[in-house]
Amino acid sequence: MIPEAAAARGLTRASLVLCDGANDMSAPKDRRKAELSFETLNVHKEGAVLFIEISASPMNLLGPELVRDLVSLIQQAEADESVKVLVFKSADPDYFISHVDVTRIKENREPATKLTGEPSLGLLLRYLSASRLVTIAQIEGRVRGVGSEFILACDMRFAALETAIFGQFEPSFGVIPGAGGAQHLARLMGRGRALEVMLSAQDYDADLAERYGWINRALPAAELGDFVKSLAHRIATFPAMGHAVVKERVNAICLPTVEDIRRDSDLFLEGTRTNEFQQLTQHAFENGFQTRAAEIDLAKLVYDMQAKTDL
């Protein structure tokens, strides 16, 4: 079902490879694989697991192309009963998802609308959380802002001890995270740590992210891929009816409500319309915001630019 739909959409740059017998590596390639292409995702199917590599050059900012592809991927994967688990990782070793492309917040809203009828990225992510599909984030590199919100919307999160960096830095621009970050962090790590993470707008390494409950576990980078692959296949082996009922009951307790997500989304947008946010954003761009080099230490960038301003 996925390949036909993809062919109909005529996408070309990246591809979803469907293997009919992933474990049967001797089978001829033309019989085992069909291709579905996305602009910003490399997708590979093994058994009931889709491995999805985020590849949105130059630094995996979340812009409309990635939003459109994620929506399309989710719709097609949900429609294909042979798919049970999605694993998300990054093609960029430094950036998993860097954050929303601040110059294209409005453009993101139209493709986001397709999934829930509302233009909120938070509701798009919540849709994924509530899906029958089991989702696993395999994190290397920086994951900040809506990137953090994306992994928080996944069902579980594993990160490379040496390289993963986490940040929910929106409050350094005077705004609440717009896609559910505050909701998830407060529920996962409690009031004190959630306030610290957001109000400090600091970078957190994987060890501290694990201790705070931001992720399930930090693992050595050399073991991460095999661990996640094995876990994904293990889960996919078990009955889909178990996935559905467990997700339904856990979500009933822990998943932020639609109203809470919508409210944060609205408050974020309100904040972005203030002069203060506009000025800070402009200032940030003057200091290298949304460039690979400067965002290696984004926590320093957002502080330095304002500490200097205050003087």
The residue within the footprint of its own copies, chosen from 13, 31, 106, 211 (CB under 8 A), is 211
Rounded alpha-carbon distances, angstroms, from residue 136 to 15, 52, 73: 20, 10, 15
Q: Which range of residues in 33-41, 59-67, 180-188, 285-293 is near its own copies by CB under 8 A?
A: 180-188
Site for its own copies, residues 223 to 242, rule: CB under 8 A: 231, 234-235, 237-242
Nearer of residues 42 and 148 to its own copies, judged by Cβ: 148
Rounded alpha-carbon distances, angstroms, from residue 119 to 23, 111, 178, 265: 40, 8, 12, 10
Helix 258-272 × helix 181-200 angle, to 10°:
40
Does position 81 bind its own copies by CB under 8 A?
no
Torsions phi, psi for 262 (to 5 deg): -60, -40
Nearer of residues 7 and 246 to its own copies, judged by Cβ: 246
Cα(295)–Cα(288) distance, rounded to whole angstroms? Answer: 7
Nearer of residues 119 and 213 to its own copies, judged by Cβ: 213
Looking at residue 62, the DSSP 8-state letter turns out to be B
Site for its own copies, residues 12 to 41, rule: CB under 8 A: 23
Nearer of residues 7 and 254 to its own copies, judged by Cβ: 254
Nearer of residues 75 and 216 to its own copies, judged by Cβ: 216
Q: Residues 138-177 vs its own copies: string with x where CB under 8 A? A: ----------------xxxx------------xxxxxxx-
How near is the Cβ of 287 to its own copies at its closest, in Å? 14
Nearer of residues 7 and 250 to its own copies, judged by Cβ: 250
Site for its own copies, residues 41 to 70, rule: CB under 8 A: 47
How near is the Cβ of 203 to its own copies at its closest, in Å? 12
How near is the Cβ of 71 to its own copies at its closest, in Å? 22
Cα(213)–Cα(101) distance, rounded to whole angstroms? Answer: 27
Nearer of residues 124 and 189 to its own copies, judged by Cβ: 189
Count, residues near its own copies per rule CB under 8 A: 72
Cα(169)–Cα(160) distance, rounded to whole angstroms? Answer: 21
* 146 three-class SS: helix
| Parallel, antiparallel or unpaired: strands 156-160 and 134-139 | parallel
H-helix segments, the chain: 2-9, 29-32, 64-79, 105-116, 121-130, 146-153, 181-200, 206-212, 221-237, 240-254, 258-272, 275-286, 292-295, 298-310
What's the start-to-end Cα distance of the chain, in Å? 60
How near is the Cβ of 259 to its own copies at its closest, in Å? 11
Does position 310 bind its own copies by CB under 8 A?
yes
Q: Which range of residues in 5-13, 57-65, 139-147, 197-205 is near its own copies by CB under 8 A?
A: 197-205
How near is the Cβ of 110 to its own copies at its closest, in Å? 26
Cα(86)–Cα(217) distance, rounded to whole angstroms? Answer: 18
User: Can you say whether the dihedral through the CA atoms of 170, 175, 181, 187 is positive or negative?
Assistant: positive
Site for its own copies, residues 268 to 297, rule: CB under 8 A: 271, 274, 276, 280
Does position 259 bind its own copies by CB under 8 A?
no
Name residue 224's amino acid. L
Torsions phi, psi for 302 (to 5 deg): -65, -30
Per the listing, tokens 């203060």 go with 276
Q: Which range of residues in 29-37, 75-83, 101-109, 208-216 is near its own copies by CB under 8 A?
A: 208-216
